[in-house]
Amino acid sequence: MTFRPQVPKEHYFKGYDTKERWISYWYQINEVLKTNPETVLEVGIGNKTVSDYLKKLGICVTTVDIDEDLEPDYVCSVTELSKYFEENSFDTVLCAEVLEHMPFEYFETALEELWKVSKKYIILSLPHFGLGFNLSLKIPLLRRINLTIKVPLPLKHKFDGQHYWEIGKKGYPLRKIKTVLSRKYYIERTYLVPENPYHRFFILKKRN
């Protein structure tokens, strides 16, 4: 299958960066920094907010996207990374809100390619459909405590021009996604973003 851009370049610059998306950027950056990388591959660059910030911190960031209008370093699909990069090329690979943009039959292929080019860590985020509830507790002098719950609504997903599937929709329960991920990775952590529970993060470590 040939993958083509689903939206024009302007999509990422006109009303794209909502408050919730900015919060998701923070989690992407924070999780990448926790891995202490010298080299990072970002798959799916959007408007380059995350890669630009990481570069300003002195991290060597390489970007990949299928849309040449976004001016990535490499124009290619996540399903063909090993054609462009050697194995273990990057300390950490970031792939945020990307894999749902292709049919689920390509999910494992994409995970295999991410595994090949990463030395150790993959930071992955995917949309998680359902009713999200968050309880936040802040006690003075202590860290904030967040409890985020997702109540599934197993509706059948209909392709909307962008997403082919989402966690929580009929046929895509969280346990299924974890099972697939566990074939190539240790799932060190997975969580919903408290301020944007539509985004679920997976902190993955390669199985060798």
Q: What is the pLDDT along the chain (208 residues), one digit of tens a residue?
A: 678 888 888 888 777 889 999 999 999 999 999 999 999 999 999 999 999 999 999 999 999 999 999 999 999 999 999 999 999 999 999 999 999 999 999 999 999 999 999 999 999 999 999 998 888 888 888 888 888 888 888 899 999 899 999 999 999 999 999 999 999 999 999 999 999 999 999 999 999 8
Yes or no: say if 69 and 5 are a contact pair by the CB < 8 Å rule: yes
Sign, Cα dihedral of 102, 104, 109, 110 = positive
130, 140 contact by CB (below 8 A) = no
In this structure, CATH architecture of domain 9-206:
3-Layer(aba) Sandwich (3.40)
Reference 82, options 97, 68, 93; nearest CA is: 93
Of the candidates 119, 115, 51, 54, which has an alpha carbon nearest to the alpha carbon of residue 91? Answer: 119
Residue carrying the six token digits 């202590």 = 142
Residue spans of beta strands (DSSP E) within the chain: 39-43, 60-65, 74-75, 90-96, 118-127, 131-137, 145-151, 185-193, 196-206
* Extents of the domains making up the chain: 9-206
Angle subtended at Cα 14 by Cα 160 and Cα 98, rounded to the nearest 5 degrees: 45
Question: Could you tell me which of 176, 205, 173, 208 has the C-alpha nearest to residue 31?
Answer: 205
Left if phi > 0, otherwise alpha if psi is -120 to 50, otherwise beta: which for 120? Answer: alpha
- One-letter amino acid identity for 9? K
